[in-house]
Chain A
Amino acid sequence: MKKLLARLPHGKGEWFFGSSGRATFFGSAAALLLVCFVDALSPSATIIPPYYKHILFSCLLYSILSLSLNLVTGFVGQLSLGHAAFFGIGAYVTGALTKFYGINFWLTIPAAAVLAALVAVPLAAAAQRVKGAFLVVITYGFGEVLRYVAINTDFLGGSAGMPGIKPPTIFGFAFNRVGPSGKELYILLAFALVSLLSFFTWRIEKSRVGYALSAIREDEIAAVAMGVNTKYYKTLAIVLSAFLCGVAGSLQAGYASFVSPEMLSSTQSILILTMVIVGGPRSIKGSILGAALLTILPEFFHSVKDWLGLGFDPWMILYGLILIILMRFRPQGFWGKTTVF
């Protein structure tokens, strides 16, 4: 155990918020536990309504997605508008396997992730040949084609989607039956994944792979000249990223007990990409911040609309404005380290 702890990062690392990775991890874990179970301690009314827990879960879920995309967009510098497809594939695999074949939720996660990764291989092959604007179109088209497949496959529920997916169980307890609102275990699971992923990303950045990816981003031709196997590393980044998005998809399918073709939509892909960009590419805390901001702000503006009595929802207009202003004055995002793309 001591050995294991010693392997955790320490000092001025930034694999998570703050100055000390370990401190932040334990700090946020404790805060999260408090948030989750404070209601169970208090005898009377709910202190933290399930709606906030729902938003918290969404933040964590999108953090997984943006951290995954960060591997491609941040490290390799390739824009992808198709990552919602991997998210959707993960969700559909988990949905179909648990619903139609009665397979345990936990066993479907690897299946979902592996399938998402396999589907990413042709996309990775495409990314070898084209880049920039061309890659954006290819990834976009790729996601759209998969969405049409989901809409046109009756077995998967067609455009209405697939309801009634069984929630995951732990020691025989269904996830949605544990805790004051039934969302606590999902939050903790998502938090565990986010921390693992942050840790993993932090380690990758300082590893051989990380340096290779940075080399490709900064100057691909120079990287080839230095003997970096760019093909291998680019494929690795995309496949790995798809794998992780697949895991996120499984989680969402279990949480909402519902999947639908909208999960694969380009709006979703654009949202994930802008999360990475707003927070700052290549930055771990940036990706998490971006995901949190773009999840919380729309909800916040729903309330603003009610206060002001506006006839329309101002969020999407503001969302556009935020992107424009951010690119104008801080193109690297909040915590981004690079503007090279």
Chain B
Amino acid sequence: MEFIQQVINGLAQGGIYSLIAIGWTTVYGVVGVMNWTHGEVYMLGAFCGFFLFTRLHLPFLAGLLISMVAGSLIAMAIDQFGYKPLRKIGMPRMAGFITALGLSTLLRYSSTALFTPDPQAYPANLLSYKLLTLFHINGKAITVSSLHLMIFLGTLVIMAALELFIRKTLTGKAMLAASQDMSTLELMGANPEKLIKITFAISGALGAAAGVFVGTIYAINTMMGSLAGLKGWSVAILGGVGNMTGSMLGGLLLGIAESLTAGFVSTGYKDAIGFIIMILVLLVKPTGLKGYSAEEKV
């Protein structure tokens, strides 16, 4: 049954979209800026992993963790030099967005100048590969690649850890509160700057993790951030901004939709389908699948 196989293919891809989307959505929720540089953090994370695996020959898990730390540092640096000065002058939203655009262009093209535009591949023996048969339908095997499965599980673990952090720790609860109303939280005595730093760190780590995952399965280049970043963004909006479960669902939905489009409709429109779904969802339900129904303040 090709349909079921395509759905499973889509789930594997969707996990990566979810991971990128959560990075978007946490920053948008807390800081309120469209962090266009997220795609670039993802790209830099992938390149960090590339150097760790090819030069230092680190094992996968060590490389992944170091890349995530590096991603956090990069994201915090972006905030420190890009957004913080704007917050001091009261951050008009448009200025934040254009700054993000500028930062993203700057990072993408400096990386191209530095790493050359050549595509790069991770070492082939980084993770062992096996084609796993899940079950049989009408004598046909439904399969999933062990890499995809591992990365999907990795995504779930990271998301579960994040969910725990947000539900159980004070900082996490503060982040959740901040995504609903930052100014009230400030009155409650929370330190917004610290909260924002943590948010960027988490977002950067998630972006870098997604980058390393993609590098492990596919190949990387300095332009990879633009499309992936945007897909992550549409997923975040699709799921409802500021809502992690929504992002997770949105990512899986987009992965499946792309896979089904490529399998049954037209491979040429595979990338377009995400945007079409997003536009339709936003028109019917402007808050996204699971967004908070924020009342407009008068």
State the A residues within 8 Å of B (CB). Answer: 79, 125-126, 129-130, 132-134, 136-138, 140-142, 144-145, 148-149, 151-152, 221, 270, 274, 277, 311-312, 316-317, 319-324, 326-328, 331, 339-341
Contacts and interface: CB of A to CB of B under 8 A. Distances in A.
A137 B233 contact: yes
Contact of A320 (B93, B104, B274, B278): B104
Interface stretch (B151-159, B177-185, B188-196, B263-271): B263-271
A133 B237 contact: yes
A136 B282 CA distance: 12
Interface residues of B, number: 46
Main secondary structure of the interface of A (DSSP, over half): helix
24 contacts: A126-B279, A133-B28, A136-B97, A137-B278, A137-B282, A140-B275, A141-B276, A144-B275, A145-B272, A145-B279, A152-B268, A274-B98, A317-B110, A319-B105, A320-B103, A320-B105, A321-B106, A324-B99, A324-B102, A328-B99, A331-B89, A331-B95, A341-B93, A341-B95
Given A152-B269, A331-B95, A324 B109 contact: no
Interface in B82-117: 82, 85-86, 89, 92-99, 101-110, 112-113
B287 to A, nearest CB: 9
A331 B102 contact: no
Contacts of A136: 34, 97
Main secondary structure of the interface of B (DSSP, over half): helix
A129 B99 CA distance: 26
Nearest to A311: B113
A141 B275 contact: yes
A341 B94 CA distance: 6
B48 to A, nearest CB: 20
Contacts of A320: 101-107, 109
A145 to B, nearest CB: 5
**Which 3 pairs, one residue from A and one from B, show the smallest C-beta to C-beta distance?**
A323-B102, A320-B106, A141-B275
B86 A328 contact: yes
Contacts of B268: 148, 151-152
Nearest to B117: A312
A316 B278 CA distance: 30
B172 interface: no
A76 to B, nearest CB: 13
